[in-house]
Chains A and B, each alone.
Chain A
Amino acid sequence: MSEQLEPVPTSQSPGSDSSYNEFHDRFGNVRPHQQRLQQFLNQHGPEDVEALRRALRAQLAEQEVTFNILGVPEGTNRPWQLDPLPLVLDCAEYTRMGEGLKQRVRLLELVLADLYGPQTLIKSSLLPPALVFENPHFWRECHGWMNPQLFLYAADLSRNADGQYVVYSDRTAAPAGAGYTLENRLALGSALSDLFRRYSVLKINRFFHAIQRTFERAGSAAGGQPRVVVLTPGMQDESSFEHAYLSRYLGYELVEGRDLTVREQVVYLKTLSGLKRVDVVLRRVFDDNCDPLELRTDSITGVPGLLAAARAGQVTLANPLGSALVETPALKAYLPQICRALLGEELKLPSAPCHWCGDPQGLSYVLAHLDELVIKPAFGDRRGEPIIPAQLSSGEKEALIARLKSRPWQAVGEQWESAWTAPYWGVVKTMTGNVSLRTFLCRNGDDHEVMSGGLARINSAPDGLFLSLNTDRIIKDVWVPSPTPVKDLPLPAMPEQRLEIRRGGVELPSRLLDDVYWLGRYLERAETTARWLRAGFERISYDAAGEPSIVVDCIISTLRNLEIVDSKPNQTLPPPGAPDGATPSRSQEEVLGALLSARGLANNLLATLERVHYLTLGARTRLSRDAWHALRRLKASLDEFEAWRSHPQPRVAIESLDALLIRLSGVTGTVLDGMVRGHAWLFMDTGRRVERSVATLTLIRNLVPEDVSRLHMEALLEIADSLLTYRSRYLSSLQAPAVVDLLLTDETNPRAVRYQIDRIVRHLESLPRDNDALRGQPDRRMIKLQADLMTLDLPSLCAGDGAPLRELLVQMVNSLYQFSDELAQRYFSHVGQHHALSPAAWPSDDNEVK
């Protein structure tokens, strides 16, 4: 390059001989494919780049790109850092590398076909038998029938000092990261839209379209539109976010093992309207855990009978069970000779030099070159950090040598060069760090499609633990510029709402509806509790100098009746200024504070919001983006209440509760009003109405005491949000039967119990029934409750001390709780956990039968 741009300031000198710098060549010149990035850095100062980094971080945090459950108290929170600088790779080099990967995945498919078939690789001594027979990922249950198609494959790569791409790990079972790539691309592509367009970056959605086409073809053997599901181990899995993201992008249902069942060797999704046949399972569950009947019996994430269904050819698994075998690190040592034998070609892409200790020559090499190598488990590198002998003490090293000698087949020694470097943003300036790359291939007809992009990781070894939890990492989006400029390149975007349009909410997994029902209940509970606590705090503020309010007592006792427990015995504190020896009793203010935000109390507002958050995460694929954001904003209230505990001012509590109620109405607006009127909506709304009925019934019971006063009734109407309605009807005359009617039996008041029950009855009409003629127990119970409410004789119930009314209210609450149980029994009872039986004990005299 004659035109010398100002070099990027780096922490290392560019172009040292032992490494390959992706940005500069060895003379310090910016490589051609990096020049636009260089221009970008010239035009934008550190403040701009830093602002970009922060914006990206906020955007990803919002989307909860984490490895675990966020916001749940015990969950770990690990948002990764997306580097604002993409890793730009030369297209011609990348394409050549992709050709190498295509050959490699074709080869790995042939290896699977052989090892799960005739095993000629062992018989002709191209592979040592122990490498297969002692391999825990060789599942003999899959032998003889496996159709070795690697639908999805990932490789971890680096470049050596000569710039040659080198493969470090193969991922063939359930490769992770494609969803994260998508998420990064969507974030960075829009944040750097100018640069993205100027580079004409090759799109990665081609790759995902290829996946969709392949699955449609694979599943269409059964005829009609195939049903594809993404099988996730569940929310506890480190990559659960990615599974949700990927399934949403591809438009497939995200399911857990317990959402599926196998009947007569066919896989079904359990839905409210019955069992729905599943044709393709994109599994994010590792081989061992897919079927407790034939694979690992202690698996709770799998589906019993899945392997038999695959064996019978009734379902396509992507990837097929047993495919983890070729992830075996030790296999790398034998790939060149296998490639020659099976493909008649040389291996195009070298692997990292690898020596298996189970081979005597391998062991002696490893022992002789210990300090130059990294020691890894031979059969799988998913657990534990690799051992670097050069960093061990002499005692540790001796122990390692002894272990290698006594169990040689369990280890490999690999040579890691880590020679590839690239610039990344180091908060105040550009730095240079080691980089490694994960990219993906998917099957496309008989060929494979290479993703034009991937995930790059800064400053860690290319060890295959690509998405491990151990450190904070900087991840880079990988850009491969098109050699020919593309006009009007569209920016990457998430296909909006494809799921809801296509499914109409008819075929949701039953388990999800159970979650959605409870989401409805907890949302309403949060709203009710917040409303009442606000009323309580307001009264404390007005009456600050006076007697403790009776109304506040009523609020507190109502909340207690709803099993919102405000204290544990040992947490009871004497009120401030209480005389020594007085019965410890807490001020109303303290009790309200505990009901608001004390840690570890069942059902208080904080606990309720946490449950809302948890259920939101589980249901996220079913929510529209707006609904998701509305629900996510509730997290801000959680944080406020946490903070409130250290400065418990009633005024601040009122402000926070106001904010929460506004956020909750946002949720009601987007979730309930904006949701398709399918089963999910019916269950969520039923949940809300059950909760609201219970709350109102309990409130009336506590605010219509024996010596009911005007003060009580006013508070009752205010808290139940019906004071204005009452005044418009009855002006200022407050009488118990009129107040109770408005809140209990008035079918036109949306806050009245009758209104809720009418809605529930209508919802139940829309749910599927086994028998059209007969009503189920939950239906009958609600119709009876509706009839009771229609025929109440309020004046006589309210006469005297009102005891008959209170008794009736208690009965109605119990009836609603029973309804809730019956509903679960009726619709969710097949949502259970299977378990493996222990094998028959050895026969003894006691247990013999004749």
Chain B
Amino acid sequence: MRYNVRHVTRYHYEAQVAHAHHLAHLRPRELPTQRVEHSRIDVLPVATAGSSHADYFGNIVDSFEIFGSHDTLQVTCTSVVTTLPNSLVSTALLMNDSWEQAAAQIAAQSSDTRVSEYVCVSPLLRPGSTVRSFVREVFTPQKPLVAAVLELSERIFTQFKYEVAATDVTTPINQVLGERRGVCQDFAHIAIASLRALGLAARYVSGYMETLPPPGQPRLIGADASHAWASVYVPGAGWLDFDPTNNTLPGERYVTVAYGRDFSDVSPIKGVVLGGGAHQISVGVDVEPTAPSLGPS
């Protein structure tokens, strides 16, 4: 699939900002399952200086600076992305190893930093007894890893209520587990913390999904907004994405922006300002399917 993605973030400040530094994880990264034809960030007022680099996880980070008084800031990221079918999903679904075998294999290969990084405790996800007892209900002894992950996704989907105002980015996962409500970020975090509590490797994925509400069917949650899901490492196959918010396996209708250990690694926009007082943020996202490019191949 080919998409035009447009992600607009607006800040409204109570007082003038004299000088601002920002960092953005907004431009989609290149992946085997995703080609980024084009992506750009536009900032209003026009940034004084900007640069971009790849972060530790290989995501694109844009940094920009605004020197000059302003009380609103608009950051628009536009990109054209082609998503491809993921052959790994079918391979992974054929794996029959139990989750214990998978955990043992990951432990034995702990020198593989691309995997061991995601078994470790991360800034927002500290394992606790609540998470451990939650995951033990699903991960019963000798259950095949992939089957257990799908069950975990389903359990989160059925037992948790999607509720926007219930949480914010600082809500700890124990509270989400207790209250059984939250947003996609919380659900991804619960899935990731659960898997890590068992010695498995899991990572956080930020991005978008296209919504296709067929007639008579409900609109999928997370539509036309930035979205987040989880990814689990299946030894012998690779990273398998799963979306506990919608209980699906992300495919061509998902656009990946970045991945990291948890939200804190891929926060879409960060900033430090001089002045400004209190501020409000508004966000809008469009994921628009578009015809394949007819340009020279």
Contacts and interface: CB of A to CB of B under 8 A. Distances in A.
A29 interface: no
Interface string B261-297: 0000101111111111001111111100000000000
Contacts of A304: 21, 272
Given A140-B56, A265-B51, A849-B8, A843 B120 contact: no
A630 B166 CA distance: 61
B118 to A, nearest CB: 9
Contacts of B185: 842
A842 B168 contact: yes
Contacts of B18: 830, 832
A832 B117 contact: no
Nearest to A308: B63
Contact of B270 (A123, A134, A297, A409): A297
Nearest to B19: A261
A311 interface: yes
Nearest to B118: A133
Contacts of B183: 842
A663 to B, nearest CB: 40
Given A294-B23, A834-B273, A122 B56 contact: no
Given A140-B55, A842-B164, A262 B21 contact: yes
Contact of B283 (A265, A294, A849): A849
B273 A847 contact: no
Nearest to B224: A848
A263 B67 contact: yes
A545 interface: no
A63 interface: no
Given A140-B56, A837-B271, A844 B164 contact: yes
Nearest to B228: A842
Nearest to A832: B274
B10 interface: yes
Given A842-B169, A843-B283, A847-B282, A293 B120 contact: no
Contacts of B164: 842-845
A311 B53 contact: yes
A130 B110 CA distance: 9
B107 to A, nearest CB: 10
Contacts of B19: 261, 834
Contact of A840 (B51, B57, B269): B269
B295 to A, nearest CB: 29
A84 interface: no
A129 interface: yes
A63 to B, nearest CB: 36
Interface in A802-849: 830, 832-845, 847-849
By size class, the interface of chain A is 35 or more
B120 A840 contact: no
Contacts of A834: 19, 272-274
B111 interface: yes
A839 B111 contact: no
A129 B111 contact: yes
A144 interface: yes
B48 interface: yes
A840 B269 CA distance: 7
B272 A134 contact: no
A305 B284 contact: no
A312 B164 CA distance: 39
A130 B199 CA distance: 12
Given A134-B121, A841-B169, A848-B284, A265 B49 contact: yes
A140 B262 CA distance: 13
Contact of B268 (A140, A838, A839, A850): A839
Which of A262, A264, A833, A843 gathers most chain B CB within 10 Å?
A843
What does DSSP make chain A's interface, helix, strand, loop or mixed? loop
Contacts of A134: 120-121
A386 interface: no
Given A265-B49, A832-B275, A839 B283 contact: no
B225 interface: yes
A833 B274 CA distance: 6
A79 interface: no
Contact of A848 (B49, B167, B282): B282
B111 A849 contact: no
A264 B268 contact: no
A125 B107 CA distance: 12
A46 interface: no
Interface in A124-181: 124-125, 128-130, 133-134, 140-141, 143-144
A124 B270 contact: no
A844 B116 CA distance: 35
Nearest to A312: B51
B159 interface: no
B113 interface: yes
A836 B272 contact: yes
A293 B282 contact: no
B110 A129 contact: yes
Nearest to A128: B110
Nearest to A849: B284
Contacts of A839: 169, 267-270
Nearest to B10: A849
A44 B20 CA distance: 65
A416 B231 CA distance: 45
B246 to A, nearest CB: 15
Contacts of A262: 21, 65
A403 to B, nearest CB: 13
B134 interface: no
B44 to A, nearest CB: 13
Contact of A847 (B51, B57, B226, B281): B281
Contacts of A842: 164, 167-169, 183-185, 225
B116 A129 contact: yes
A848 B225 CA distance: 9
A125 B164 CA distance: 44
Given A836-B271, A840-B283, A264 B65 contact: yes
A263 B169 CA distance: 30
A616 B283 CA distance: 49
Contact of A144 (B56, B117, B267, B282): B56
B247 interface: no
Contacts of B276: 835
Nearest to B6: A850
A273 interface: no
Nearest to B268: A840
Given A140-B55, A141-B56, A261-B19, A305 B120 contact: no
Contacts of A123: 111-113
A566 to B, nearest CB: 37
A837 B119 CA distance: 30
Interface string A105-136: 00000000000000100111100111001100
A481 interface: no
A292 interface: yes
Interface string B90-132: 0000000000000000000011110011011100000000000
B195 to A, nearest CB: 16
Given A125-B110, A842-B225, A847-B280, 8 more contacts: A261-B19, A263-B49, A264-B48, A840-B268, A842-B169, A843-B284, A847-B283, A848-B225
23 contacts: A119-B113, A122-B111, A123-B111, A129-B119, A130-B119, A130-B120, A134-B121, A140-B265, A263-B67, A293-B272, A297-B272, A304-B21, A834-B19, A837-B11, A837-B272, A838-B169, A842-B168, A843-B164, A843-B283, A843-B284, A843-B285, A844-B165, A849-B8
Q: Which 4 A-B pairs have the closest CB atoms?
A: A140-B56, A129-B116, A304-B272, A844-B164
